[in-house]
Amino acid sequence: MRDILESAVKPQGRIKLVSLLAEIGRKVQLTDEAFAIFEGVRDKTPARAGRFG
């Protein structure tokens, strides 16, 4: 049963976000220096908890 549910939720052949981002970085030839700039300006505020209901 678990395998059926997992295969329905996680279809084979899906692209993982980390893999996709790494591929984009390679294509644009992102350097460590350029990455450090992005890292320095990103918002590091913790996300708010979702509210349902």
Show me where the domains of the chain are located. 14-41
- pLDDT score, position 12: 72
Rounded CA separation 12/9 (Å): 10
- pLDDT score, position 11: 67
Count the neighbouring beta carbons within 10 Å of the beta carbon of residue 36: 10
- Residue reference for tokens 């700039």: 37
Rounded CA separation 44/52 (Å): 24
Q: What is the pLDDT along the chain (53 residues), one digit of tens a residue?
A: 777 777 777 767 777 888 888 888 889 998 889 889 988 998 889 989 888 87
- pLDDT score, position 27: 93
